[in-house]
Each structure stands twice: as C-alpha cells, then as structure tokens.
Chains A and B, each alone.
Chain A
Amino acid sequence: AQKVTQAQTEISVVEKEDVTLDCVYETRDTTYYLFWYKQPPSGELVFLIRRNSFDEQNEISGRYSWNFQKSTSSFNFTITASQVVDSAVYFCALSERGAETSGSRLTFGEGTQLTVNP
C-alpha cells in the first residue's frame, strides 16, 4: 500500500527566510509519480510539480525547488526567500500504477501548514 508522510504539521517563518517542507513516501511499485500541491486560504488546490520515479534530477522553478531522493524515499520542497503570499497548506502526494487497474489513485500526505510572517 502506498503512504505519504509529512511529519511537519505546522511551520512558521519570517519573511525572506528559506524553508523546507519534508515529504517521505512508501510504495512497492517501481513506477510512480510524486506531486506537490498548494492550498491557499481560499481553499483551492493548486498543482505545483510532478516528478516521475525515474527522474531524480532536482528541479528549480523560481523561488521553489524540489529534492527527490529515492534512496531515502523523500521528495522535499524548499521555498527560498519566503513571502507572505506563500502562506498556505502544502500537500505532498503519490500516485502509483494500480496492480488491478490501468488507472491510479493519488494518495495525499496530511499537509504542512506554512505561515510566513512579515
């Protein structure tokens, strides 16, 4: 069974600090995808990134960067020079190919509430 763990329930930082959100996953599949979503106070779920299990290259997008390490089953997310607008709940998620079906489900972690204070 697949599982995603986000051990940090809440993180509070001051604007311009760097912050890393941890994500550890469990899966028995060799083909899977990892995701990060942002849920701002308005409630919608905003897709940030998708990474497949065969691509361990780190990715950078502006102030966001992601570190994928299969050896530790982790997919951590770093925000550099955080801003107040980054305040949100961030979810890590895992999708693996189902053994019985051709489709797949997305399993979410419990989320990390990030608060960036001015």
Chain B
Amino acid sequence: DAGVIQSPRHEVTEMGQEVTLRCKPISGHDYLFWYRQTMMRGLELLIYFNNNVPIDDSGMPEDRFSAKMPNASFSTLKIQPSEPRDSAVYFCASSFQELYGYTFGSGTRLTVV
C-alpha cells in the first residue's frame, strides 16, 4: 500500500496565482480530509468528504478556497487567487471508517510570495 499520496511536495507561487494541490487517498478509504498546518493556528481541518461528497467545509477560510473529489481516488484543493497568508503545509488524510485512525499524506508545503 503506497499510503496517501500528495503532490506536489513543495510549491512556490506568486501572489494572485492559482494553486492546485492534489491527493490520492488509500484505496478503499471512504473518508478524505484536508488539513492545514501553520505556526499560528496549528493543525486545522479545512474540509472532509465521505464517499466523494463534501460533508463539512466550515473550515475553508474563504471563497478563494475550493475542494473537489471527482472520484474515490482523487481530490484537489484549489486556491484562487493565492495570498501570502495562505503559506502553510497542507495535509491530506484518508480513513476507512469514521472515527478510525487517519492516515496522512506527506503534505504539500506551499509558499506564496
């Protein structure tokens, strides 16, 4: 099992540009989560999906952020337009059942200059 796969590992972009982060969950996992980690706010949940359907997006900071899960093996988190305050590490995680242990990807370190 390859685990949760995120790409890219690092992304540097200029303010105002569109950024797309990608995630491939573990096969068979029906929950997918997007988290953001910053020094100021720690680890915070942005959105999560169950069977490809968004369940709770209350953590999405603002309309500049959007997430999709077109199928069970792929999800994207898009920021448009990006701002320097979006700089953070973005983690994707998947889980087999609710309340089970979550497996996290290696994260995408985003820097917006």
Contacts and interface: CB of A to CB of B under 8 A. Distances in A.
A33 B99 contact: yes
Contacts of B33: 105-106
Interface string A82-118: 0000000001000101100111111111110000000
Interface stretch (B14-22, B70-78, B101-109): B101-109
Contact of A104 (B89, B99, B103): B99
Contacts, number: 61
Contact of B43 (A32, A46, A52, A108): A108
Given A44-B106, A98-B56, A105 B45 contact: yes
A31 to B, nearest CB: 8
Nearest to B91: A45
A71 B58 CA distance: 32
Dominant SS among interface residues on chain A:
strand
Interface size class of B (residues with CB under 8 A): 20 to 34
Contact of A101 (B56, B105, B107): B56
A3 interface: no
Given A44-B104, A44-B107, A103 B50 contact: yes
Interface string A32-62: 1101010000011111001010000000000
Contact of B106 (A31, A43, A104): A43
Interface of B: 31, 33, 35, 42-45, 48, 50, 55-56, 89, 91, 93, 98-107, 109
